[in-house]
Amino acid sequence: MKLPRPNERNNALGQILKYCSDQQNKGKPVVFGTVERWMINQERSRLFNEDTTWVQTPELESKIQFTLKKISDNNLIKQ
């Protein structure tokens, strides 16, 4: 799998966290649990420091990709 450039990845992860928070604020079930959000934030932190060595678990990466597609297909995040 080809990984996006660090800035694109960081923006995508930010969108995921925003979408998850928006869902929670609307009283809907969260998309990512506490540990998953922590892992996403760990990757974002490393990307801010130009460290691209962090790799998510295959399960979480699959969930990230699914959620990004859902956000994109349904225009769920307003830029």
Q: What is the pLDDT of residue 28?
A: 95
Tell me the pTM: 0.84
74 vs 40, more confident = 40
CA 18 – CA 1 distance, rounded (Å): 25
Q: What is the pLDDT of residue 56?
A: 96
Q: Residue for token digits 């699959």?
A: 62
Query: What is the rounded average pLDDT of the residues 11-37?
Result: 95
Computed over every residue of the chain, the mean pLDDT equals 89
Please state the domain extents for the chain.
Answer: 6-72
20 vs 5, more confident = 20
Using only the alpha carbons of the chain, give its radius of gyration: 12
Q: Which residues contact 14 (CB under 8 A, 6 or more apart)?
A: 44
CA 28 – CA 30 distance, rounded (Å): 6
Encode pLDDT of 27-52 as tens digits: 999 999 999 999 999 999 999 888 98
